[in-house]
Amino acid sequence: MKILILGGTAEARELANRLVAMGHDVTTSLAGRTQDPKLPEGKLRMGKFGGIPGLAAYLRVVGIERLVDATHPYAGLISINAVAAAQQAGIPLVRYMRPAWEQQLGAEWITVETAAEAAAALPPNADVLLTTGHTGLEQFLERDDCQFVVRTIEAPAMELPRHATLLQTRPPYDVNDEMALMEREEITHLVTKNSGGGQTAAKLEAAQRLGVKVIMIARPVYGPANEVASVDAAIAALGLSG
């Protein structure tokens, strides 16, 4: 079966590897934002499609029989476009969405809807570990009454101001390293997105142990889809046997 996976996550890579091992013709599409990404088995496609019409046309021309949206929970427009494009092309869509993190007893969380709300929620003189990626970065850095450690995989295009330090690393992270970072930088607040998954969850446990306050940006709301939360469930939803 010809399957297109909208990827860029560890879960998408695991799913592609499983499907290729099962003998399916799998293409993974990557947006191309991350340099030197870990690549899945099967075919690769890099770059944008050109909105709903472009994605729908690709699905029809290539003869894709199943579409899997396994992008990041905050990928935004591509997840919205995937639903419409699959409908236009007349093929089934499966959305693979990793479960969100849940606030644990004793953890100090504030949940907000946007980066602007998260920036506004920071008190003056906060020492912040910022792990929200590039989107909305400028809104945080306008808070020159706070100090920021900006942790990203790729360096942002903008030059960071004097009250911000870039920490360029790649997950996974462990609790001890996260605690050491927070203690070394005297972090008072962690600002993050509810990405879910195990690769970056250690920061939440570290924050809880150290009494660091968490400002959590909630996930965007996407339209209805056949949504699953594991590789096995995705394979089953595709109508395939594992």
Residues 133 and 200 both lie in one domain: yes
Give the global pTM: 0.85
Residues 207 and 115 both lie in one domain: yes
Nearest to 28 by CA among 46, 10, 48: 46
Tell me the mean pLDDT in the region 104-110: 90
Which conformational region is residue 63 in: left (phi greater than 0), alpha (psi within -120 to 50 degrees), or beta? left
Can you say whether the dihedral through the CA atoms of 53, 98, 44, 92 is positive or negative? negative
Is residue 104 situated within a structural domain?
Answer: no
In this predicted structure, what is the pLDDT of residue 18?
96
| C-alpha distance from residue 17 to each of 14, 20, 234, 235 (Å) | 5, 5, 13, 12
Nearest to 69 by CA among 188, 61, 77: 77
Tell me the mean pLDDT in the region 65-90: 93
Residues 213 and 154 both lie in one domain: yes
Residues 14 and 61 both lie in one domain: yes
Residues 36 and 15 both lie in one domain: yes
Model confidence pLDDT, tens digit, residues 214-235: 999 999 888 889 999 999 999 9
Please state at what angle helix 175-184 crosses helix 202-210, rounded to 10 degrees: 50
Residues 146 and 205 both lie in one domain: yes
Per the structure, the count of domains in the chain is 2
Question: Which stretch, 95-99, 100-104, 152-156, 209-213, has highest mean pLDDT?
Answer: 209-213
Model confidence pLDDT, tens digit, residues 1-41: 999 999 988 899 999 999 999 999 999 999 866 566 788 99
Residues 233 and 193 both lie in one domain: no
Model confidence pLDDT, tens digit, residues 139-184: 999 999 999 999 999 899 899 999 999 999 999 999 999 999 999 9
In a 10 Å sphere around its CB, with 0-12 CB exposed, 13-18 middle and 19+ buried, how is residue 115 labelled? buried
Extract the tokens encoding 122: 């920071």
Mean of the per-residue pLDDT values of the chain: 93
- Listed in sequence order, the residues at least 6 apart from 87 whose beta carbon sits closer than 8 Å to its beta carbon are 93
| C-alpha distance from residue 92 to each of 4, 84, 117, 121 (Å) | 11, 11, 36, 41
Is residue 22 situated within a structural domain?
Answer: yes
Residues 166 and 189 both lie in one domain: yes
Is residue 210 situated within a structural domain?
Answer: yes
Residue 74: pLDDT over 80: yes
Residues 61 and 37 both lie in one domain: yes
Domain extent, residue 56, equals: 2-99+221-237
In this predicted structure, what is the pLDDT of residue 223?
80
Residue 55: pLDDT over 60: yes
Looking up residue 152, the CATH number of its domain turns out to be: 3.40.50.150
Amino acid at 5: I
Look at 197 and 140; give whichever has higher pLDDT.
Answer: 140
Looking up residue 14, the CATH number of its domain turns out to be: 3.40.50.720
Tell me the mean pLDDT in the region 57-74: 95
Give, for 28, the enclosing helix (H) or strand (E).
strand 25-30
Give, for 178, the enclosing helix (H) or strand (E).
helix 175-184
Could you give the maximum distance between any two Cα atoms of the chain, in Å? Answer: 56
Model confidence band, residue 65 (pLDDT cutoffs 50, 70, 90): very high
CB 121 within 8 A of CB 108: no
